Structure formats: structure tokens, C-alpha cells
Structure 1
């Protein structure tokens, strides 16, 4: 990691001329990924936890370019679904290094994981329901498992990501010691796991560390563990005025919260690694002046980036074509026929004109992962920066791609 790796990359830090060239060459909307930034973010985080096992939480971005970059950087991969397991392996991950955190897994996923574990005994399967362990056993699995704990404390940027207090996730902490004793008769119990929320920043650290203390207390009660996995959830500042996490402070606070424990600490950063390593480029197509607002229409939509509609998320927006124009309050929205298709309302942006190029920042985490085909919109292309320019790492879909899986129907 070098001095060129600040703790957060703002939209103004991207090369605007390069972004203009990419939009001209590849069209819009367009995801632009910087793999070197992914590598820097991972290395910065891992350096704050030198004695820990740092895995990348694949659900934040499962693109091959991201997974390959992180595997090359020495990261292991944590997967929350069968598809993520398969994509990690296809990217070059050794199945013996993977951790699978099953949440209400479909039966086909249970059977796949059981077969994978039989062939690769280093695989670890984490489950947060007794029924999942029973299903694994019925599928013939008796390998490495970890128990996901529900500590009853949730943190993060939105109630929909405060998993630590949601009954969907994990075994209530009071039940874990008894379950651990039972599972030791049936599996190789190697760890405990907890993930209490997502988007944790400095102001959330007290609650986050309180949850970690709870989980560590359970780990001490269970004893004889290989690892305690406290998940991820470490955030980035989406708003320009917010400060980035000081991961050296986070590392110290987390170690203090865990305390004396005869087990390796494990963590699963996802958002922190990829969020600011990718942005979206989108063209202005419509300017509408009304008494209520100046509406700026763009070709990106909630099908391109659903986080603002789904989580009320803030994403920075910058006029790449003319960043020095006088800013004025505008509302930026896409072509979907719903009032939820809005990226911002009355936000000061350098006055956009038709054909201007806008950039939407911090789109690397849960951006393309949640992209969809609403309104029969093909998903955008994705390019990755390299020393020679950029290469396409995901082709732009066509309408034929959208309809390919439909079967014929004649009335």
C-alpha cells in the first residue's frame, strides 16, 4: 500500500477526461471498476488486523474482476450462496479455503455444499438454524461447521441491514452453548460467527463493539474453537461531509472488544473493499423546469442502481462534463415509470445540460449485484481500468439477453 491510497476515494478524485472517453467508447449507463483500488482497500484493512483471518464477503460484488483481484492479493472468500461458491471457484479460489454462510439455503444448495465439503474437507459451512444443520447431516455432511449467533444487537446504516437483531439470522446467544455440545457429536465444530449489521462508521463503533463483546463472551463459554468470525459491516462515507473509518482505530477497538480468547479472529469486509472502487456513468437526456423542481433525466435507473430506492441510500453525484459550473438544486431520476426511480432530490449539482455526463459514486458495493431488468432494461456493461486504458469485464446486455430464457407461447 502506498501514499497514493487514501482511506476513501471521492468522485472528484477520478480522472474526468478518462471517464468521458470511457463513456464515449462504451456507452452509458456504464459501471467503471478500478481493480487497483480494490486491492489497496483490502490491503489497508488487512494491515489493521495483522493476526486475523481476513476474508472478502463476496455478496458485495461477485464480478470475476473483483474476485480474481482479491485472490491474487491473498484474500480468502466468504460466500453466502451456492452461486457465490461456484463463482469463487471459477475465479481460482481453492474450495478448501472457502467459507459458506448458509441463510435458509434451498435444498439444492445444501446438497451442493455437502458434496463440495466431501471433496474438499477444508470447506467451512456456517449455519444459523438448527434445521440447516439437520439438513446438512441428512445430506451426508459431517465436516467443518460454525454456528451463526444472533447477539440481539443490530447496527448499520438502515434497519434492513441490521442483521444482528433480526430473527432471520443466527441462533439466539443463550442457546449456542447447548447447541455447540450437540453439534460436536455430529460435525467438526470449528467456529462461531456473527454479523450484526452493515455500513458501520465511527459513530456506530460503540454499538458494534458491544455486540462483538457479547459474541466473544459466548465463544469463551463454548471454548475449544478454531476461530471467532465477527463478520463485516465496516462502512464507507457515502456523503461528502462524512469522514472515512480509521481502520487502525477499528482494529484496536475490535481487539479490545474480543478480549482474551484462545481462537483466531476472522473478519469479512465486503463494502469497505469495493464501494469506492466503482462508479456509474450516465448521460443526461432530459431537463425539465417546474415550479417544484428542476428535474434532470438520465439513462441510468433503479434497474442500474437500486440502493437509493431500496435503502434510501445517498450516493454522491458529480457533473463530469462541467464540474465547475455554478451548482443548483436539481432532482436526478431515471426512465422507470415509478416515483422511486430517483437518485437525488433538490441536491446542488453543477448545472446539468442535455448530453452532459454524470458520475454516481460509491457504486461498487451492492451496485451491479442488485442490478435488474425492470422495464425490460438490459443491464449495463462494466469496464475495469488498467494501465493501458480499460477492458470490458461484463458485456452490455441486449433485449435478446433479457428475453432469452422465455419459452414460446402461442395463444
Structure 2
């Protein structure tokens, strides 16, 4: 890819980038240089998405749900723009600090944290104002046992859940947070025990859009009321993120300005419904997917074409170990051919299948694609969130490479694993 020629620019900031908006030639150049399967991330699009979130929520504290994509350039890009890091595990805390997030902009929001995670987070010498979130009285006790005396946030279960799939709807799931009717008591106990209680946190779920927005609004309203009922002065009330992006080609883009307005209105309504007549704590949001989903594509090569009476099975070198969302959630990702002669080919019904011996290992069913041939390059859209993050070595398959592009210039983020990498820890255990 010469001097970024043909690569999308950030001069405009559309509400969503569709797979059809990615130019084919630069993607072919990336595949030629780095091989497939390959995740390609556009850091300029991450910056543009950050700007749109800031514009919609100008007065809110903005953090990034790190679990969506933890690659170092993405984290550095967001840290350099003053975004906070919302971390679900000790490893995400470590990555965020290493990428340059100031400790006071890091929030550890774990669910049932393992002992070794708490040991690491509570024992950080450079904690520097990092916020630790607890979702159970037992977790509060475990934190106290480790001598943590820093800033604390309490996660609430508001009894309202939403999201694109039942597996990611968290707001009403007992696993997540202190039950709403006990939340004020737990918050006051935390303050009474000497913790610096700075915030409350809740999250409805992931991929929220359309009808789910009413549930999000209700969650925000309840959190506003709860904040007014807590006697101690709070710095913030975090209402999660989970803002959806359109995965299907004809899905409308999320009206982020309308979501922001509804969020502010619901928060103010909840606060007025409480006992406190002072100004409410700062509203905080923690999107993940919205920052990065449409900033990434997955490139994959056709290795087998098999016509059958039902469909044409297009076998590719990426599968559920590369991108698990279709297998795990039944998620839809747009798929597009990138060959120069693609526009001249006849469209045929296809199933795009991976190399894993599982019926679920299908990236897309019933797709109309240009008549496929072995060696063709395909692109899978909206792969920037929960793509590489959820890849695995199932079937002892090496994980793919990742490349980041900024101002049209690519750089390798994660090299492609080898077969030796897959068995490295076993070999090291045998040698120890």
C-alpha cells in the first residue's frame, strides 16, 4: 500500500462505515503483505468515533470498555485522547497502564474477580487514584482484606437488561452487581469502612439499539434516583455503554445524538425523583463496540469451493477460532468479495464456512456473493470489536495476525502465531 493510496480518510465522519466503504485495493495490498486470516484496524476511524461520542456526550466522562479490543495501538490512540479505560480483568488493567492511560483514568470493574486478579490490582504500587469497582459485599470484604484504601465504585444490578443477545444482557442478570434494593446500604457501608466512595456503576448489556433504548433509559433513570438516595457525595454515576452498531448492510445507524439526549433526560428525571436537590454527580459512559467495531475488517482467503444442491459452500482460512461471534451469538457480519473482477461475476447463493470441524463454524449463511473461486480474497465487516479478542487455539489452530493502519500506513500489531506457538507452554512445562 503505497503512501496510504486509496485508504479511507478521516476528513468526514459518517455515523457508520459500511463494509462497502472500504476500498478493495488497499485491503488486497494488506493481505499480500501480511497474509490471511488478517485483522485490519483503522486507527483514524477509532479517532473519528471518539470525536462523535464526545460531541454527543460533551459533559459526560468518557471511558472505553477495553474488552472490545485490547490491541496496543487502539489503547494508545484512546489514551492519547484523554479517554478513560474501563477494565474487566487484571490483564486489561496491565495493558491499559502500559499503553499510557494515567492510573486515575483506569477503572477496574471485575465480576467475581479471581484472587490473583485482586492481588495484582490491590497491590499496584502506581495505583495513583485508580478506581476499583465491587459488585458484591463479599468482594468489598476481599478488597478490604488486601488493604486497598483507594477510590471505590459500587456496581449495581438495576433489574433492567438489554442487548443484541441474551448472553450479553447484563442489567437484570443476578451475576452482575449489588441488587438495586440493597445498593444504597452497601454504598454507605463502603463509605463507613473508610473507603473513598466515588461512584456507582451499572450496565444494561451490549449492542443496544432500537427497542432496547427504552430499557437503557429506564436503567439510567433508576441510577439517577439511587445516586440521589446515597448520602455521600459521588463524583460520577456510570451507566455503561453497549451502544449498538449496524451489522447488516441495511440496518440504520444509531442516532447517537438522540441516545445522548434521552440519557441526559432520564438521568435528570431520576435525580429529581430522589431526595437530593443539589446538582447530580457527573454522568459517565463506557462504550466499547462503538469505538472500534466499524474500524476493523477481517480478511480471509477462499481455499475450497464446493457446489451442493442447497448452496455453494465457500471454504475459507478463517473460522470460529478467528471470529467466534457468528457461532456464539448467531451474529451477522457482512461479507464482500475483493477481487478486481468481482463486479463482473454472477451472484450465487453461498455459505461461507471455516476449517473447524463444527457445524457452527460458518461465518455467513445464505449470502449472495460473486461466483467464488479458490484464492479469492473476502472481507468480513465490523470485525474491530470482539474479533481478535475472542479468537482461540481450538483445534490447535494458530491465531491470526493483526495490522493497524494510521494515515494509510500499516504496521504489524500482532504477528501470526505458528504451530510452535500453539504448543509453546506445554514444551516449556516439559523442559522446566
TM-score, normalised on structure 1? Answer: 0.96
After the TM superposition, which residues 1-400 of structure 1 pair with which residues of structure 2 at under 5 Å, given as runs? 4-116=12-124, 119-186=126-193, 187-223=195-231, 224-259=233-268, 260=271, 262-321=280-339, 322-324=341-343, 325-387=345-407, 389-400=409-420
Contact 2:302 2:375 survives alignment (8 Å): yes
Contact 2:10 2:44 survives alignment (8 Å): no
**What is the distance in 2 between the residues matched to 1:303 and 1:111?**
31
Deviation at 1:389, TM superposition (A): 3.2
Unaligned runs of 5+ in 1: none
Deviation at 1:202, TM superposition (A): 3.1
TM-score, normalised on structure 2? Answer: 0.92
**What is the distance in 2 between the residues matched to 1:211 and 1:85?**
27
**What is the distance in 2 between the residues matched to 1:387 and 1:255?**
35
Contact 1:10 1:276 survives alignment (8 Å): yes
Contact 1:201 1:244 survives alignment (8 Å): no
Two-structure CA RMSD over aligned residues (Å)? 1.5
**What is the distance in 1 between the residues matched to 2:11 and 2:256?**
16
Contact 2:204 2:215 survives alignment (8 Å): no
Contact 1:121 1:144 survives alignment (8 Å): no
Unaligned runs of 5+ in 2: 1-8, 272-278
After superposition, give the CA deviation of every residue in 1:305-324 in whole Å (9 maximum; x if it has no partner). 00000111100100111442
Deviation at 1:43, TM superposition (A): 1.2
After superposition, give the CA deviation of every residue in 1:328-369 in whole Å (9 maximum; x if it has no partner). 211000111111100111121222211111000101111000
Contact 1:157 1:199 survives alignment (8 Å): yes
Deviation at 1:142, TM superposition (A): 2.0
Deviation at 1:288, TM superposition (A): 0.6
Contact 1:29 1:280 survives alignment (8 Å): yes
Runs of 4+ with deviation above 3 angstroms: 407-410
Contact 1:37 1:277 survives alignment (8 Å): yes
After superposition, give the CA deviation of every residue in 1:170-222 in whole Å (9 maximum; x if it has no partner). 01100011111111112111110001111011332112111211122111111
